[in-house]
Structure 1
């Protein structure tokens, strides 16, 4: 009996380790996407899935045919220009995408062991696989549409849904091993659930506004060039000012969520999430200020985006945890109710 229990625990721990690695790599993929966007490397590989017709991209222009601009720049009106740094930034982003897909597939295979115990873990993993597959196809459309802004935005939003699917699985598989959240213990109110949902929706809206600011920034860069970086922010339109002002509303809601998580719910897990949100909010404000006052340095853009996605991920985890019907299996819920008796 003991050996069987140890085997189950070992299987669960291996699954959690694989799942944690998968989530980290997905976040790295989002960071890489931000770097591609911030450095203007989106067309560093003008074709897909190969890069300049090769599986391993060239490192110098001499490795390309003399008429490569006509071959690969047909849709770009011959304006494609080889830049080894931008090419490899985009290619590494693609490699991370492939690695993410393989890890999600491995997660689905590993989740078969939970089919009898908790089918939601398996189906959550399958959802992540379908979403990341769809996002891989969408990545090809981003190249095909020559970095159309609406395609880039959809690409990002689908990546966030992949994160949500994996975080659902993580919370579901981890909750029984952490402090079990019973109704008597956390006294979850409808108002707090609404607060978390509204905060997530507002955060989604802020991310969408951020993509609009990025579009406006692209327009400014096209007009002024990189030599006028110091004047970029002053040349932005209303989208930037709405995004900046809306951040104050986002901050207020985060403060409300953090206070409730730390003082009202009395859960170690939720307290850890609250502490993480504090640091994330501070870092997000800092990177936003750096971009606003220091000419939008390239390093700050992807970090700002990544922090926003991690923040909304923690919000989603908190919402799952305070709703035991979503975070606990039927067996774990039954044990939680037995603890109350």
Structure 2
């Protein structure tokens, strides 16, 4: 009943073109990944508790207040990051309205609704991070969830690009290679999780607004760096092996092209990581590295999406 009312209200909106739906989906990808970058900026500027409570910024106020205990810069950076959540929500809501108004198929609608729902979950995780005093593992979960949203948003984009009239799902590569592509996503998740562990033990605790030090992950950071790098080597090796296999089976050019993009991004990301390690993790490179993680996630999801496409269930008439 409520959904029917929702549909009647949505039907009053202009009918969005396919191009507009694609643009909105791209904006969703950028906002989901972008808020992870701004979160990194919060961390490296030590502004994590610039707003020490949640959902309010300060007790009794949703906006920053002039208190000497918390520097104005830290308040502004953390509050600004919270405001960006509304941009993410608006983008997610816009894509839901667009695909609903266009009466897209069920698969598109499901992925579209995951955007606002996932953003709400992310906001709650952000609140838990603040209320626990920036415990490293809460920050790690918050980041990994952002990357999961980037993956889902990327799949949403490619689902929107497909025609709803095409009913047959066709594999573009043999099933073992598709599974290998899925394994690359799992390995990427391992790389990301290990990266959050490095951050949890590293120098950027995320806050200097309180007297007590933020609890860190009590493992030697060099050990975690080796774990992170070895997982990255495994991920890259799998991608290269997948590339040779795709050429061997004469996979469609689009799959091979997307894989090349992934490998290029991973190599660039590796270079950033090496420079970070050799230069004692400068703050600016942390944000660059987080942006690279989002790019790796989106590019890997794009390869996964290319392994199956929707095609017409019957040959069109040539008459």
- Normalising TM by the smaller chain, what interval? 0.7 to 0.9
Deviation at 1:23, TM superposition (A): 1.3
Provide the residue aligned with 2:50 in structure 1. Answer: 44
Deviation at 1:243, TM superposition (A): 1.5
Deviation at 1:183, TM superposition (A): 5.2
Q: How many angstroms apart in 1 are the aligned matches of 2:133 and 2:144?
A: 19
Compared CA separation, residues 219 and 45, structure 1 to 2 (3 A) = closer
Q: Which has the higher contact order (CA 8 A, sep 6+)?
A: 2
- Tell me if structure 1 keeps the 8 A contact 2:33–2:146: no
Given candidates 67, 71, 84, the residue that maps to 1:96 is: 84
Alignment of 1:69-218 (within 5 A): 81-115=69-103, 117-176=104-163, 186=172, 188-218=173-203
Compared CA separation, residues 25 and 264, structure 1 to 2 (3 A) = farther
TM-score (norm 1): 0.75
Q: How many angstroms apart in 2 are the aligned matches of 1:90 and 1:263?
A: 50
Deviation at 1:252, TM superposition (A): 0.9
Provide the residue aligned with 1:12 in structure 2. Answer: 18
Q: How many angstroms apart in 2 are the aligned matches of 1:272 and 1:304?
A: 23
| Runs (5+) with no aligned partner, structure 1 | 1-6, 69-80, 223-234
Give the CA RMSD over aligned residues: 3.0
| Runs (5+) with no aligned partner, structure 2 | 1-13, 208-219
- Tell me if structure 2 keeps the 8 A contact 1:125–1:165: no
Given candidates 276, 292, 299, the residue that maps to 2:261 is: 276
Secondary structure class of the residue paired with 2:282: coil
Matched, 1:24 2:30: yes
- Tell me if structure 2 keeps the 8 A contact 1:262–1:270: no
Provide the residue aligned with 2:284 in structure 1. Answer: 299
Provide the residue aligned with 2:40 in structure 1. Answer: 34
Q: How many angstroms apart in 2 are the aligned matches of 1:84 and 1:16?
A: 39
Deviation at 1:48, TM superposition (A): 2.2
The aligned length equals 289
Structure with the higher helix share, 1 or 2? 1
- Tell me if structure 1 keeps the 8 A contact 2:44–2:283: yes
Q: How many angstroms apart in 1 are the aligned matches of 2:250 and 2:108?
A: 25
